[in-house]
Chain A
């Protein structure tokens, strides 16, 4: 499964981030995004809420979209959350920070590990602990040139850009050393979801996919 996830990330490059939505809404958004060409979804934990909201969404998306989309989990801060997400069927795991125990557990459970880091020190440490990708957050604050600079010495580390990535700039980031990007509010527009305009979510997903470098 890990190989399949790695292949999907390399191929599709965009991870849509679903934050703060109930399981039912997550499913509808997943459908709209899938129709728009999105193949990777991240459903985040909210530390102030019941983790079952997240695990239920993951479980249902994994079941309904098996073979069409991969679902992962985001904002994982503890080993316990890593286990809960793995049990629910998440295939990749994203954290805001570099937590060696979480990374180890992620890989042990057969998931792909994507911890968050900013500085070369943190990025190299994440990789040493076994991260498959390192999420640079907030990448948008640093500009697209940041990955190129960091990867001059750290070319063996695969980076994902998260934070401030839009369809206007995603190509710049993916052509300057990031191998993928996570996109939240710039793709999963809350107003459209509140208004039930899933058609707009699909359209936006299509526009995003079309703005990727190499899209014909």
Chain B
């Protein structure tokens, strides 16, 4: 069960799908995979849900597919039979949750109040949906609600968009966000798979929020980091700040290494909203990280290097 939730966490964004025609399930799932999402929630808002789940399971085993808008035990059984890996509900239905727990079905029930969250915890859950997230007070409310329950993780859904997604993702208690803007019914019905791929990629990029944080420069033989810092100051007026292993110049734009650091020429730090999720998505894009280089602080990831160098530079991710 935890493996399913870890996979959802790593992906970070769960497209919430309502599909009218089960024939469109596989092309839709392919479009999502092409855009970088390998988790999907197919909702029982339409009659085609169970068949759509079954088709995706059969033809695209790399996609983790769950069932959403599950309101009855019958729907939960249909979802199970079709091969759904997890179940999401709009509200907290204790009978349904109890049944899921008995059958070891990973379930993410919708909750909106401390009372509902505590009911979920009483039944042994540590993951709930926060719904409708934006209309119910947004990230500030979620943070306030999460305060007393350090073991709970949340799937905010409802009103999530490309603008507010990064902030939800930076919140450490967010399991993943649910969203439907990249899988609007009109796009699905029109078979606009390229547009769905584009919107999906745009969403993943916004979620990860990659941006240049600093460039690390290795010293040439016989030259020191302090000399380089003095040169940058003379040329551009950049102030500097000496640390044990390096000198930062120009705010934190340049890290001038005292001894040769990673990378033939140096290294580049790329900031991200979520280092864990960046690792997952980079792996899907064909880039491995060197886990031995991982730096953590208080159990939270801070930095990790990619195995591959690009143009003589080592690249590391930096949690923003």
Chain A contact residues, CB within 8 Å of chain B: 118-125, 128, 142-143, 145-146, 149-150, 152-155
Chain B contact residues, CB within 8 Å of chain A: 43, 45, 68-69, 71, 90-93, 109-113, 116, 131-132, 134-136, 158-159, 180
Q: Do A153 and B135 touch across chains, with their CB atoms under 8 A apart?
A: no
With A119-B113, A153-B45 as known contacts, state yes or no: A142 contacts B135, CB within 8 Å.
Answer: yes
Nearest CB to that of A122 among chain B residues? B91
With A153-B68, A153-B69 as known contacts, state yes or no: A120 contacts B135, CB within 8 Å.
Answer: no
CA distance A199 to B62 in the complex (A): 69
Q: Do A154 and B90 touch across chains, with their CB atoms under 8 A apart?
A: yes
Q: Do B159 and A145 touch across chains, with their CB atoms under 8 A apart?
A: yes
Q: Do B91 and A124 touch across chains, with their CB atoms under 8 A apart?
A: yes
CA distance A142 to B158 in the complex (A): 13
Q: Do A119 and B135 touch across chains, with their CB atoms under 8 A apart?
A: no
**Least Cβ distance of B208 to chain A in Å?**
26
Nearest CB to that of B95 among chain A residues? A128
Q: Do A121 and B135 touch across chains, with their CB atoms under 8 A apart?
A: no
With A152-B158, A153-B68 as known contacts, state yes or no: A120 contacts B132, CB within 8 Å.
Answer: yes
Q: Do A125 and B93 touch across chains, with their CB atoms under 8 A apart?
A: yes
Q: Do A120 and B112 touch across chains, with their CB atoms under 8 A apart?
A: yes
Q: Chain B interface mostly helix, strand, loop or mixed?
A: loop
CA distance A152 to B92 in the complex (A): 16
CA distance A149 to B134 in the complex (A): 9
CB contacts (< 8 Å) of A143 on chain B: these are 135
Nearest CB to that of B72 among chain A residues? A128
CB contacts (< 8 Å) of B109 on chain A: these are 121
CB contacts (< 8 Å) of B71 on chain A: these are 124
With A125-B93, A142-B136 as known contacts, state yes or no: A149 contacts B116, CB within 8 Å.
Answer: no
For the A-B complex with A120-B91, A124-B71 known, give 6 more contacts whose Cβ atoms are closer than 8 Å.
A118-B112, A119-B113, A119-B116, A120-B112, A121-B111, A154-B91
CB contacts (< 8 Å) of B92 on chain A: these are 121
Q: Which of B69, B91, B158 contacts A121 (CB 8 A)?
A: B91
Nearest CB to that of A149 among chain B residues? B132
Q: Do B159 and A119 touch across chains, with their CB atoms under 8 A apart?
A: no
Nearest CB to that of A127 among chain B residues? B71
Q: Do A153 and B43 touch across chains, with their CB atoms under 8 A apart?
A: yes
**Least Cβ distance of A20 to chain B in Å?**
29
CB contacts (< 8 Å) of B93 on chain A: these are 121, 124-125, 128
Between B43, B90, B116, B159, the greatest number of chain A beta carbons within 10 A of the residue's beta carbon is seen for: B90
With A150-B132, A153-B69 as known contacts, state yes or no: A119 contacts B112, CB within 8 Å.
Answer: yes
CA distance A118 to B131 in the complex (A): 12
Nearest CB to that of A128 among chain B residues? B93
CB contacts (< 8 Å) of B180 on chain A: these are 152
CA distance A77 to B213 in the complex (A): 60
Q: Do B91 and A125 touch across chains, with their CB atoms under 8 A apart?
A: yes
Q: Which of A121, A128, A145 contacts B116 (CB 8 A)?
A: A121
Q: Do B110 and A121 touch across chains, with their CB atoms under 8 A apart?
A: yes
CB contacts (< 8 Å) of B132 on chain A: these are 120, 146, 149-150, 152
**Least Cβ distance of A147 to chain B in Å?**
9
CB contacts (< 8 Å) of B43 on chain A: these are 153
Nearest CB to that of A144 among chain B residues? B135
Nearest CB to that of A155 among chain B residues? B45
CB contacts (< 8 Å) of A153 on chain B: these are 43, 45, 68-69, 90, 110
**Least Cβ distance of B184 to chain A in Å?**
12
With A120-B132, A121-B111, A155-B45 as known contacts, state yes or no: A149 contacts B91, CB within 8 Å.
Answer: no
CA distance A118 to B136 in the complex (A): 10
The contact sample of 8 A-B pairs, CB cut-off 8 A, is A119-B113, A119-B136, A121-B92, A121-B110, A121-B116, A145-B135, A152-B158, A153-B43
CB contacts (< 8 Å) of A150 on chain B: these are 90, 132, 135
CA distance A14 to B291 in the complex (A): 63
With A121-B93, A123-B91 as known contacts, state yes or no: A149 contacts B111, CB within 8 Å.
Answer: no
CB contacts (< 8 Å) of B91 on chain A: these are 119-125, 154
With A142-B135, A146-B135 as known contacts, state yes or no: A121 contacts B45, CB within 8 Å.
Answer: no
The 5 closest A-B pairs by CB, nearest first: A121-B91, A149-B132, A119-B112, A120-B91, A153-B90
Q: Do B68 and A121 touch across chains, with their CB atoms under 8 A apart?
A: no
CB contacts (< 8 Å) of A121 on chain B: these are 91-93, 109-113, 116
CB contacts (< 8 Å) of A155 on chain B: these are 45
Between B45, B68, B132, B136, the greatest number of chain A beta carbons within 10 A of the residue's beta carbon is seen for: B132
